[in-house]
Amino acid sequence: MDIAAFKAFIAVAESGSFSLAAERLFLTQPAISKRIAGLEATLETRLFDRIGRRVVLTDAGRALLPRARNILIELEDSMRALSNLNGKIQGRLRFGTSHHIGLHRLPPALKRFTRQHPQVRLDIRFMDSEAACHAVERGELELAIVTLPPEPLPNLAAREIWPDPLDIVVANDHPLLTQPQLRIEDLAQHPVILPASNTYTHQIARQVFNKLDLKLDVALSTNYLETIKMLVSVGIGWSLLPHTMLDRQIRRLPFEALTLQRVLGVVHHRDRTLSNAATALVDLLK
């Protein structure tokens, strides 16, 4: 069975397009079509239906997709295990991280890592923490350096690296700053700007309000914390941001009895072999 054909099949299935799959694999569209045709001939079944411009999996294609993914995951895991035997730290290291961590936490570590291990080629994917964790589960990434999930995920091992205290923040002229005695209940009277509801940061805010039987008035939602900070600074709403982002543009509301914190760290799959490069990066971060 042709591994290259499996890679082409998965790329077309995930992108829904032969041209996009070709871009993803740095191939020509005819090369992708040839690999799919060869795989269909080997399996003696059609894997895709071409409906206008759309490419849709057939029943056989849907049955093959998870198995094809598992074949590639097992192959990559075996290759990592064999490569590790020589003790060298080299090759491609594919990991995901959030924009916030990539901007504010990783640069010093990556600078040291690339100097210490010049034979490693970094393939960094910037994405939401939740998406990065799921990509590690599916075998698409070796590591995720992210906001750790509030509840452990069964297939993933997580290591805490950085505590990330959170502050409730407002614009410099927000009316809550003039209130003599602040209560969490007062926040419910004002709009909030938060990441999407499926994000770990949103879940932290939601847990606080649910305990008090209060509703969040979400004015806007974006997963880019730098954008949230800008929206807060111009008075569109309050938000929950890492303490490290405080500056003259925004003000912290002093809820002394309320301690909010995320934990940032690294995640990998429990049942898959880490490459020497991945192990070296995790050790450096620790």
Question: Which CATH number does the domain housing residue 9 bear?
Answer: 1.10.10.10
The answer to whether residues 136 and 187 belong to one domain is no
3-state class (DSSP) for residue 157? strand
Which of 82, 98, 128 is where one domain is finished? Answer: 82
- List the beta strands (DSSP E) in the chain: 48-51, 54-57, 91-97, 120-126, 143-147, 156-171, 192-194, 218-221, 239-242, 250-252, 260-269
- End-to-end Cα, the chain, rounded Å: 41
Which of 34, 60, 82 is where one domain is finished? Answer: 82
The answer to whether residues 24 and 62 belong to one domain is yes
Assigned token pair, 26: 């740095």
The answer to whether residues 115 and 59 belong to one domain is no
- The one-letter amino acid code at 95 reads F
The answer to whether residues 157 and 190 belong to one domain is no
pLDDT tens series, the chain, 286 aa: 678 899 899 999 988 999 999 988 888 999 999 999 999 999 999 999 987 778 999 999 999 999 998 888 888 878 788 877 878 898 889 999 999 999 889 999 999 999 999 999 999 999 999 999 989 988 889 999 999 988 888 899 999 999 999 999 999 999 999 888 888 888 889 999 999 888 888 888 888 888 878 888 888 889 899 999 999 999 999 999 999 999 999 999 988 777 888 899 999 999 888 999 999 999 999 8
Assigned token pair, 221: 């939602």
Give residue 220's region: left, alpha or beta (phi > 0; psi -120 to 50).
beta
What's the confidence (pLDDT) of residue 165? 92
Which of 82, 111, 130 is where one domain is finished? Answer: 82
Q: Are 241 and 225 in contact (CB under 8 A)?
A: yes
Cα separation values, 188 from 125, 213, 219, 231, 237, Å: 36, 10, 12, 18, 11
What's the confidence (pLDDT) of residue 180? 80
The answer to whether residues 58 and 183 belong to one domain is no
Q: Which value, in Å, is the radius of gyration of the alpha carbons in the chain?
A: 23
The answer to whether residues 147 and 278 belong to one domain is yes
Cβ contacts of 13 within 8 Å, gap of 6 or more: 48, 57, 61, 65
Cα separation values, 206 from 11, 101, 129, 216, 244, Å: 37, 22, 18, 7, 22
The answer to whether residues 182 and 239 belong to one domain is yes
| Count of structural domains, the chain | 3
CATH number at residue 217: 3.40.190.290
Range of the domain at 103: 90-162+264-285
Cβ contacts of 246 within 8 Å, gap of 6 or more: 167, 169, 252
What's the confidence (pLDDT) of residue 246? 92
Among 278, 261, 269, CA closest to 132: 269
Cβ contacts of 201 within 8 Å, gap of 6 or more: 147, 166, 194, 195, 240, 262
CA distance 192 to 187: 8
CATH number at residue 281: 3.40.190.10
Cα torsion 77, 88, 26, 51 to 10°: value is 10
3-state class (DSSP) for residue 108? helix
What's the confidence (pLDDT) of residue 1? 61
What's the confidence (pLDDT) of residue 81? 80
